[in-house]
Amino acid sequence: MFEFVWSVASFVIALGILVAVHEWGHFWVARRCGVKVEKFSIGFGKAFWRKTDKHGTEFVLAVIPLGGYVKMLDERVEQVAEEDLPHAFNRQHVLKRIAIIAAGPLVNFIFAIFALFVMYLIGLQTIKPVVGNIEPESILSASLIPAKATLVQVGERKVTDWEDVNYELMSHIGNEQLTLKWTENNHPIVKSAKVDISQWKFDPDKESPLSSLGLTPFRPEVSNTLGYVQENSAAEKIGLLADDKILRIDGTSMQNWEQIVSHVVAKPNESIQIDVLRNNQNVRLEGLVGSRELSSKEQGSEVSSQAVVGYMGFTPRYEAWPEGMVFIHQYGLSQALGKALDKTWRLMTLSIEMLGKLLTGDVSVKNLSGPIAIAQGAGMSASSGLVYFLSFLALISVNLGIINLLPLPVLDGGHLLYYFIELLSGRPVPDSVQEVGFKIGGFVLLLLMSVAIFNDIARL
């Protein structure tokens, strides 16, 4: 329950920030173009807070936090007093109207730069993209990349951590070839390979881009020693403690953590006998294994065909990361700004590339995510700390800006399309044509949102 409330709260905060940023862009430019702004609302529905400034603009916070809007004086919406006509939006030169509409998405991109700039100033802990292993007979097995190799380039772009690698792999969906470059044993010589990925099939509901290609990132060894025992869990009821080393389960020697997990998963609500090493003494514990229901996504995987599996509520202790593998992206003012600009630009180009692949069919509509997935992402990033939440805000802000620039008449991009036609032709697009466009755009947007929400529900 707490996780749900946390995700919803994080989503509301994130959406409120991004909507406020977007609408502020429209508002700020409208004011400077001499347009009268009647209302600036964050949220829809009944207002729970409102204030009117000296210019007559009403600022509102409403109860439904799923968007916002800026209401400008406009003859197309309502009758305007003659003295206010010079301040009506529709009376402005087309270039001013273009500037006002374009300001929303533009400020989203500027905010992404700001969020990433702050993130790089604070410092983001990350992990070098060191290969754990490549699965035999997988797509990447032809690359002959050895274990412990460090990836330094994917396609045409250099990579420094696994996030970079994932982004660049996503950009190659639908391509025929993938070029990878790497180094070995900290040696400066860079090796490379071209891999045929024409048969690459990636299902985001079941796997990551890395696992679909057969690559497993390097991780420290998992020990049989418990690092954490959940409160009120089956493990705690049996008497297990942090720092206990599991030796045997039901008389079978446990050689690794995977063996422990397999044994527990197969025994939901059954009795179990566990021998542990505690303070250099052997201790035997007995009790019942707990249980949990698998999600629909987990049931569809190859992990288990059971709907209910055994669950203990403990996690292992990991060996330490090798020196230099964990590092922090932290920079001074100028370098942080440069990094933020580069990352924002890459997020923008990647978003456009993915939209293009969606239209060509290289990317399935199953990849679309809606508010539920965004809420989950907001909750997870907020739980991880401020820098991760800033990174999440930057990603969503860029996507919000790109989506709003799509040439659908109900979006900013659709309005811009009409205004550019007016700029080139010298006369506005007829109202009847605009009305048809709004209906078509609304239908397409509703269809996309329905698919995205359906995907969200299917992933639960």
pLDDT at 301: 47
Among residues 278, 297, 329, the one where a domain terminates is 329
One domain for residues 176 and 324: yes
Give tens-digit pLDDT for 92-111. Answer: 999 999 999 999 999 999 99
d(CA 141, CA 135) in angstroms, rounded, equals 6
Domain assignment present for residue 354? The answer is no
Domain assignment present for residue 81? The answer is no
> Considering 23, 83, 221, 319, which one is annotated as catalytic?
23
Strand-pairing partners, residue 112, are none
User: What backbone phi and psi angles, to 5 degrees, belong to 229?
Assistant: -120, 120
Domain assignment present for residue 421? The answer is yes
Among residues 284, 318, 352, the one where a domain terminates is 318
Sign of CA dihedral 181, 187, 189, 191: negative
Domain assignment present for residue 206? The answer is yes
Q: Residue 21 is part of which domain span? A: 2-33+92-123+391-459
Overall residue count recorded for the chain in this entry: 460
Domain assignment present for residue 311? The answer is yes
Give the domain CATH number at 174.
Answer: 2.30.42.10
CB 240 within 8 A of CB 285: yes
One domain for residues 173 and 248: no
Give tens-digit pLDDT for 248-286. Answer: 999 999 999 999 999 999 999 999 999 999 999 999 999
Domain assignment present for residue 364? The answer is no
One domain for residues 236 and 178: no
Domain assignment present for residue 163? The answer is yes
Give the residue among 369, 393, 371 at the shortest CA–CA distance from 381.
Answer: 393
Strand-pairing partners, residue 288, are 271
One domain for residues 113 and 128: no
Q: How many domains does the structure of the chain reveal?
A: 3
Domain assignment present for residue 105? The answer is yes
Residue-level pLDDT, tens digit, the chain, 460 residues = 667 778 878 888 898 899 999 999 999 999 999 999 999 999 888 888 999 999 889 999 998 888 889 999 998 888 888 888 999 999 999 999 999 999 999 999 999 999 999 999 999 999 999 999 999 989 998 888 999 999 999 999 999 999 999 999 989 988 899 999 999 987 889 999 999 998 888 777 678 889 999 999 998 888 999 999 999 999 999 999 999 999 999 999 999 999 999 999 999 999 999 999 999 999 999 999 998 887 555 554 444 455 788 999 999 998 888 888 899 999 999 999 999 999 999 999 999 998 888 887 777 776 677 777 777 777 888 888 899 999 999 999 999 999 999 888 889 999 999 999 999 998 988 888 888 888 888 888 888 778 777 776 766 6
Q: Which two tokens stand for residue 15?
A: 């959406």
Catalytic-residue membership of 23: yes
d(CA 201, CA 83) in angstroms, rounded, equals 63
One domain for residues 180 and 325: yes
